[in-house]
Structure 1
């Protein structure tokens, strides 16, 4: 039997990561509200852009572009591509 890592359908975070598991079995705790509902597109873009800029130091506009490019490659946001 092989083990397949489960990832968040919104951001790709491994659901086995510390503090990643939330109320949803498809999305991480960072991408959902307390009931496991996926946050809005704007919240997802804003949150990822802040995270990217915190370590890439590219500025808000570039971080936002990178966040949008990345998120639209994920199953939860593919319709936004």
Structure 2
């Protein structure tokens, strides 16, 4: 996933993935957001394999995931 803004990231994802996969991403984000901040940050670093850094965009891992989840949910139809 790539993009200049937080909103560009899920948009680029939706260009290459189907909506069912995006629903799974929203559910996974929800699971991650249930973690405390320290565990969330460590888990995110592992899952993103050190390739995604929300901080330069002025975000924490939590706010980044919340925005990604919200944006994807607004773009897809949930069953």
TM-score bin, normalised by smaller chain: 0.3 to 0.5
Could you say which structure has the higher helix fraction? 2
TM-score (norm 2): 0.36
TM-score (norm 1): 0.35
Please say which structure displays the higher CA radius of gyration: 1
